[in-house]
Chains A and B, each alone.
Chain A
């Protein structure tokens, strides 16, 4: 628990789904990645996942629910053929996490703008056949959600506290803006997927660390180079 969090009573503590404690990944590591930091806006769809509101107005997500939902999403995705799992993002901070996730799991991905008809028009050369869609932000990946809706494809979305979750079938609550947060979410998702698909034993770790999943800034790359 950080200094700013000390001495504050949580607004709402719900039992049930979020009872699992993040055992293998250190809680400090999860908190420092900013995975639970939301925005000042809280939509009614995301209120069940919000733990409390900080003094500066930021809504904080329930960490146990975040981790629990990521594990459930990994389990859910592992039941599909990996080639039919489509991950889409237009957010640049999520490019590397998505690429690494798809490298580990064998899923396909579309980065950047999705051309209309990609999922709905089979006569197009770039048409993709998907059984499930994973988007990083339902607010900016609207075209993909619209096409998945028309094709009756279940939609999983990483939603922050300000997201409206229309047509989303499984919400993964989490900070979908931060580089570290996205890296941590996709690393946990990849690990859960691999464990449930039998590619990894429960105690084992994937070959990449959460740091490898992070999208590097140009400044960082210059320093490393």
Chain B
């Protein structure tokens, strides 16, 4: 039986609980990498970086 891995926040690199108000979207610049953001990082406006193109948000 394969195990499911929790997605990791692009800012704090912690696993995201499905109960929290996270979001996911493709990198606004290159559109190739899915960026996950946890609730805390969204609230505190922590920076995220695309692994593919280096775009820094928000």
Contact surface of A with B, Cβ cutoff 8 Å: 16-17, 45, 72-73, 75-76, 79, 132, 149-150, 152-155, 165-171
A selection of 20 A-B contacts at a CB cut-off of 8 Å is A72-B28, A73-B28, A76-B25, A76-B31, A79-B26, A79-B31, A132-B25, A149-B21, A149-B39, A149-B42, A152-B24, A154-B25, A165-B45, A167-B42, A168-B45, A168-B58, A169-B25, A169-B57, A171-B57, A171-B58
Docked-complex contact A165 and B22, CB < 8 angstroms: no
CA distance A153 to B23 in the complex (A): 6
Docked-complex contact B25 and A75, CB < 8 angstroms: no
Chain B residues within 8 Å of A154, by CB: 23-25
Docked-complex contact B29 and A72, CB < 8 angstroms: yes
Chain B residues within 8 Å of A17, by CB: 55-56
Docked-complex contact A75 and B31, CB < 8 angstroms: yes
Q: Give the size of the chain B interface in residues (CB under 8 angstroms).
A: 19
Chain B residues within 8 Å of A75, by CB: 28-29, 31
Among candidates A79, A152, A153, A170, residue contacting B57 with C-beta atoms closer than 8 Å? A170
Docked-complex contact B29 and A169, CB < 8 angstroms: no
Among candidates B21, B28, B37, B43, residue contacting A76 with C-beta atoms closer than 8 Å? B28
Chain A residues within 8 Å of B21, by CB: 149-150, 152
Among candidates B23, B31, B44, residue contacting A152 with C-beta atoms closer than 8 Å? B23
Interface membership of chain B positions 13-52, coded 1 if the CB is closer than 8 angstroms to chain A and 0 otherwise: 0000000011111101101000001010011110000000
CA distance A16 to B54 in the complex (A): 10
- Given A72-B29, A75-B28, A152-B23: A170 in contact with B45 (beta carbons within 8 A): no
CA distance A167 to B29 in the complex (A): 19
Q: Which of chain A's residues has its CB closest to B31's CB?
A: A79
Chain B residues within 8 Å of A169, by CB: 23, 25, 37, 42, 57-58
CA distance A79 to B31 in the complex (A): 8
- Given A72-B55, A153-B23, A171-B57: A166 in contact with B28 (beta carbons within 8 A): no
